[in-house]
């Protein structure tokens, strides 16, 4: 999704056969949505005291005393991705009475796990568009106007 749809250029392994491992992955938690056994969506979260992916986007924010005071309880979420055919489509959740989109289900589960990890603040970046509306729907607040970052992993 990030490479084909958004044009990101991910670092490759020396033989260029596949994408190099992400150094933040071992410090992160993942949730995966599956339909009929096939992975259709994923989301990643990291407590920033363990590792801080895309820290460069939050430099100014992290300098704020309001954030410094709760630093140990800050997490960041990224790599939220759902296959195109499952986007915006409410689906039944196995064993549950409620239907919702795969993206929302992923974020619900990730939020639950972050609460268990004693996270109080979650930071993420998104582009202006459906993704921003989606995160707004999840009761996030916008910390500023969109940045003009060059696409990167």
Is position 85 an interface residue for other proteins (rule: CB under 8 A)?
no
**Do the Cβ atoms of 117 and 110 come closer than 8 Å?**
no
Distance CA 73, CA 45 (A): 13
Biggest alpha carbon–alpha carbon distance for the chain:
48
Distance CA 75, CA 40 (A): 24
Residue 51 or 83: which CB sits closer to other proteins?
Answer: 83
- What are residue 145's DSSP bridge partners? none
Site for other proteins in 97-126 (CB under 8 A): 98, 100, 102, 104-109, 111-112, 114-115, 119-122, 125-126
Distance CA 124, CA 111 (A): 13
Report in angstroms how near the CB of residue 134 gets to other proteins at its nearest. Answer: 9
Binding mask 44-83 for other proteins (x = CB under 8 A): -------------x------xxxx-xx----x--------
Binding mask 22-41 for other proteins (x = CB under 8 A): ---------xxxxxx---x-
Termini Cα distance of the chain? 12
Report in angstroms how near the CB of residue 3 gets to other proteins at its nearest. Answer: 13
Report in angstroms how near the CB of residue 79 gets to other proteins at its nearest. Answer: 12
Distance CA 43, CA 138 (A): 15
Q: Under 8 Å CB-to-CB from 35, ≥6 apart: which residues?
A: 86, 91, 102
Site of interaction with other proteins (CB under 8 A):
6-7, 31-36, 40, 57, 64-67, 69-70, 75, 91-94, 96, 98, 100, 102, 104-109, 111-112, 114-115, 119-122, 125-130, 132-133, 136, 138-152
């Amino acid at each position: 999704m990030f490479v084909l749809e958004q044009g990101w250029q991910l670092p490759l392994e020396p033989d260029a056969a596949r994408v190099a491992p992400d150094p933040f992955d071992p410090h992160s938690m993942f949730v995966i949505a599956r339909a009929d056994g096939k992975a259709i969506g994923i989301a990643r979260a990291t407590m920033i005291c363990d590792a801080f992916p895309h820290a460069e986007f939050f430099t100014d924010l992290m300098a704020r005393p309001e954030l410094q005071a709760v630093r140990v309880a800050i997490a960041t979420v990224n790599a939220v991705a759902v296959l195109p055919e499952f986007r915006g489509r409410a689906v039944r959740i196995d064993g549950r009475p409620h239907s919702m989109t795969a993206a929302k289900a992923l974020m619900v589960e990730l939020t639950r796990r972050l609460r268990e990890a004693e996270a109080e603040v979650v930071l993420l970046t998104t582009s202006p568009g459906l993704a921003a509306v989606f995160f707004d729907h999840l009761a996030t607040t916008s910390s500023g106007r969109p940045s003009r970052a060059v696409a990167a992993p």
